[in-house]
């Protein structure tokens, strides 16, 4: 068989494998969401990472979500070893960290929930999904503790509506309950399970997280 045809078939197979491993809801993030996401990373993720963990995460984020909105990235250990951080030892070979440190750091990011491995490695590297703070349980816990401390220091008036909405978002992991798109506090909306005109109330049990598109479709259907 022609080697060029075989190579093309191999590449098509790899692309197909990547598409089948992509979770539902990985539709990409809007550029309008980036400032909010970056703010959440600074406030809620970076404080719970080590310096190495943070450097690796920012590299992966920069070349995935920040690049084109796609949370998936294929990267090799050798690329991370060269491009992310330098060794603290000036006389180290090529001033790069070890492969072992790269592996340990990736494993630490997986354990905290900041990245998710989507498949086994191939010649191009390993496919990862980069998660944002609203998806990471450790970040949501840290955020709740931080907000509680800030509220104690700077009390604000709240009629309960904002608190109920945040409770719904946290419960649903900032994911649309209709199309499963991953959202942020910037894009998440709430919708009723049972509409008020049908006897529904404002309790969190009667509210679900939705994306603006699904919420708009529901409003059009109701009208």
Pick 128 or 92 by higher pLDDT.
128
Residue with tokens 């060794």, as numbered in its chain: 87
State if pTM tops 0.85.
no
Q: All domains of the chain, ordered by start, with CATH?
A: 3-132 (1.10.10.10), 157-222 (3.40.1800)
Q: Tell me the per-residue pLDDT of 97-136, one tens digit each, with 9 for 90 and over.
A: 888 999 999 999 999 999 999 988 888 899 999 999 989 9
Position 156 pLDDT exceeds 80: no
Residue 24 confidence (pLDDT) above 50:
no
* SS3 per residue for 105-168: HHHHHHHHCCEEECCCCECCEEEEEECCHHHCHHHHHHHHHHHHHHHHHCCCCCCCHHHHHHHH
Confidence at residue 9, expressed as pLDDT on a 0 to 100 scale: 63
Q: Taking every pair of C-alpha atoms in the chain, what is the biggest distance, in angstroms?
A: 73
């Amino acid at each position: 068989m022609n080697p060029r045809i075989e190579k093309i078939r191999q590449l098509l197979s790899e692309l197909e494998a990547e598409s089948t491993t992509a979770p539902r809801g990985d539709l990409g993030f809007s550029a309008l969401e980036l400032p909010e996401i970056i703010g959440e990373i600074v406030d809620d993720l970076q404080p719970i990472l080590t310096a190495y963990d943070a450097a690796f995460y920012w590299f992966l984020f920069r070349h995935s979500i920040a690049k084109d909105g796609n949370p998936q990235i294929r990267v090799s250990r050798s690329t991370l070893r060269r491009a992310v951080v330098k060794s603290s030892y000036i006389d180290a070979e090529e001033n790069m960290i070890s492969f072992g440190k790269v592996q340990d750091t990736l494993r630490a990011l997986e354990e905290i929930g900041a990245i998710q491995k989507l498949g086994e490695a191939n010649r191009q590297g390993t496919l990862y999904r980069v998660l944002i703070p609203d998806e990471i349980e450790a970040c949501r816990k840290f955020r709740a503790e931080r907000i509680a401390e800030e509220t104690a220091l700077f009390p604000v008036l709240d009629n309960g509506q904002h608190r109920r909405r945040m409770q719904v978002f946290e419960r649903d992991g900032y994911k649309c309950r209709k199309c499963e798109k991953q959202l942020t506090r910037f894009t998440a909306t709430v919708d009723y399970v049972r509409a008020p005109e049908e006897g529904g109330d404002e309790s969190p049990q009667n509210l679900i997280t939705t994306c603006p598109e699904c919420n708009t479709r529901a409003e059009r259907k109701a009208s």
